[in-house]
Structure 1
Amino acid sequence: MRGLLYGLVGACLLWAGVATAAERADRIQLQDGHPTEYVVVKGDTLWHISGRFLQSPWRWPEVWDVNPQIDNPHLIYPGDVVYLTWVDGQPRLGVRRGVRKLSPQVRVQPLDQPIPAIPLRDIASFLNDNIVTEQDVVETAPYVIGGRNESIIAGAGDRVYARGIPVDENIQIQSLYRPAREYHHPVTGEFLGFELYKVADAQITSRDEDILTLDLRNSREEVRKLDRLLPSGEERIQSIFHPQPGPDLTDAVIIDVLGGVAKVGQFDAVALSFGAADGVEPGHVFAVYKKGELVKDPVTEEVVALPAERAGELMVFKAFERVSYGLVLKATNVISVGDELRAPGR
């Protein structure tokens, strides 16, 4: 009987220890030397501010304290004060509205611009200028066959001609895209999509069977033969993201670095091997794990792969069907194409 009693006590203590460990793993960790208050300045982001308080800045939606005087606590402005408080033993971030300073000059935008969740300047071009689509969409889209007066390149204000049936015949103003690259999964070899970048906006002014007359409204580069006409991918830039852990995926990796850089660091944009078809959406956060190096065992002479190590965190800011774009928000090591992505553990 005594042995049974000791066994029950031991089991209870073990269970309590497991529960305590789970609580510790889920508890939000604060930065060493964190401030109690921080005054928001121009150029801040929610990620940057949260990083001053939290070890995992992407968890800021969990700690914002609901303030009845503030319609949306995620919209904060330069001059506001973010302060740390505690509720039921858990940290909370509150906001006190700061003093608005107005200057006697004409402004062409609202006086108060909320700070973005992440640095939009680093991803704005990828939000509006790049799209990733299926191969059949590219192959069936109308393509430029030439310009007026036999010109082979054209720009804003010029007229060009395309051949084919528009993907959406009801949209008069569309965009001309140029194929940039094909994406294939580096592990499975599966085709993921074509990346295209915008070279110009064009208005369809007339159509004669399958010949389209296009007037170029603006251009980022010269328009050439074989540029493809597709409905514009432009949309209102999303500045408010609500970070949450990304789903557990198989063979999720970085497949490319956007912007022409070789190595990846903080605030670099990358292409990822998954998309909306995998349940991924903007705001999903993933931990980046750098592949372990291959070393030779000095005893057995076998080649051994070292364990992967965590190298940073990124957040998805745009999701296509089978490819996503992400922004690296934390890098503790050099990040490269092929590095693994996992759901961030708590």
Structure 2
Amino acid sequence: MIRRIVLSLFFILLSLPIVANEVELNPDHPKRYTVVKGDTLWDISGMFLKYPWHWPDIWYVNPQIENPHLIYPGDELSLVYRDGRPVLELNRGKRDVKLSPQVRETMLDKPIPTIPLSAVGPFLSKPRVVGAEVLDNAPYVVASADERLISASGDYVYARGVEPDSSDDFAVFRGGKVYTDPDTSEVLGYEAIYTADASLVTEGDPAKMDITYSNREVQIGDRLLEIEDENYDLNFIPRSPEQQMDGRIISVFDGVSQVGQYQIVVLNLGNRDGLETGHVLSVWKAGETIPDQVTADRKDVVTLPDEHAGEAMVFKIYEKVSFALVMKATKAIHLYDRVKSAP
């Protein structure tokens, strides 16, 4: 499934038409580069460009090459100039093939991803943002089968509220943070913390459930939500939003106080703000408000200017909030730092 999704991702991303915008090259860019396993499109873009999300502006699709919109390990990328404008050309590397009895060719190499899918994979289906009523009305764990207070993989639990016509497979969640806009105090959603997977064993009130996998202990009161469709939209096309965005980081996963590369943050921007998956946002360290010790008025304060701290790319969106992956951090990134449209 991942291969199919990634194929779709690259067909959309790399077959985009080239626009005539000026692009800034990385001063240390190579003239050519041979792709190796473990590369990502974002990293390769950064080799050639000052702003990796400008990649579609320089990509040249050669229709004479099989699958020119895909990049595989072994392929060679060359930076050349066409009509005075820099473009990247693809020279297809050697492909490993396997011949089946039907004389069918199968590529063993997979195209490189845009970003490290391992960094965002667990966040595509497990953490959720829900309204308060969703958890309140969801089925819940009422007891364990052996009178334990906590349960784990291989244990059985009893749950109330499981409808007879519902799915047999559930994800177990626990209510977490309340996502609140720091500027308006609006409640944007509630964090649902993933704890386990459970399968229905026998129907009833309560129903008997088998904990098939757990990464945290399952407790009485935990809620059961039907597992989301696994056909996630992974068509991440790195690009700056067409309209100006101005938001904040309102939550950081794993309880860290300083955020670095490939960590996940929650933004107070979502579908209603025009944000889309693949949008790249600049992160700005919020300027500190300090007292002005020079003026006579001891109550006089001044807010220092925001400082650029990195970039983040949005990969999952809800109505009022979104998840973003920090792609680059030039300074320590903190809770409530600002995010704005990348240049």
Relative to the length of structure 1, the TM-score reads: 0.83
Deviation at 1:255, TM superposition (A): 0.7
Q: Counterpart of 2:342?
A: 344
> Aligned match of 2:136 in 121, 135, 139?
139
Task: Write the distance in 2 (CA, Å) between the matches of 1:307 and 1:67.
Answer: 46
| 1:157 counterpart = 2:142 | no
Q: 1:191 to 1:72 in 2, by over 3 A?
A: farther
AA aligned opposite 1:273: N
| 1:117 counterpart = 2:114 | yes
Alpha-carbon RMSD:
2.5
Deviation at 1:197, TM superposition (A): 2.5
> Aligned match of 1:308 in 303, 306, 309?
306
Task: Write the distance in 2 (CA, Å) between the matches of 1:321 and 1:139.
Answer: 19
Task: Write the distance in 2 (CA, Å) between the matches of 1:251 and 1:186.
Answer: 13
Q: 1:1-346 alignment to 2 at 5 Å? A: 26-70=21-65, 72-100=67-95, 111-166=108-163, 169-208=165-204, 210-233=205-228, 235-236=230-231, 240-246=235-241, 248=243, 252-301=247-296, 302-345=300-343
Q: 1:157 to 1:297 in 2, by over 3 A?
A: closer
Task: Write the distance in 1 (CA, Å) between the matches of 2:254 and 2:233.
Answer: 20
Task: Write the distance in 2 (CA, Å) between the matches of 1:36 and 1:295.
Answer: 48
Paired residues of 2:96 and 2:108 also in contact (CA < 8 A): no
Q: Secondary structure at the match of 1:125?
A: helix
Identity of aligned residues (%): 45
Relative to the length of structure 2, the TM-score reads: 0.83
Deviations 1:198-256 (A, max 9, x none): 22222223333x53222222222332111111011362466541112225466511111
Deviations 1:305-326 (A, max 9, x none): 1221222111001112221110
Q: Counterpart of 2:102?
A: none
Deviation at 1:143, TM superposition (A): 0.7
Task: Write the distance in 2 (CA, Å) between the matches of 1:157 and 1:110.
Answer: 38
Q: 1:181 to 1:70 in 2, by over 3 A?
A: farther
- Gapped regions of structure 1 (runs ≥ 5): 1-24, 104-108
Deviates more, 1:199-208 or 1:132-141: 199-208
Q: 1:299 to 1:150 in 2, by over 3 A?
A: closer
Deviation at 1:281, TM superposition (A): 2.1
AA aligned opposite 2:83: D
AA aligned opposite 1:328: V
Task: Write the distance in 2 (CA, Å) between the matches of 1:334 and 1:71.
Answer: 43
Paired residues of 1:117 and 1:239 also in contact (CA < 8 A): no
AA aligned opposite 2:262: F
Paired residues of 2:96 and 2:109 also in contact (CA < 8 A): no
Q: 1:181 to 1:79 in 2, by over 3 A?
A: same
Q: Counterpart of 2:11?
A: none
Aligned length: 314
Q: 1:295 to 1:198 in 2, by over 3 A?
A: closer
- Gapped regions of structure 2 (runs ≥ 5): 1-19, 99-105
AA aligned opposite 2:328: K
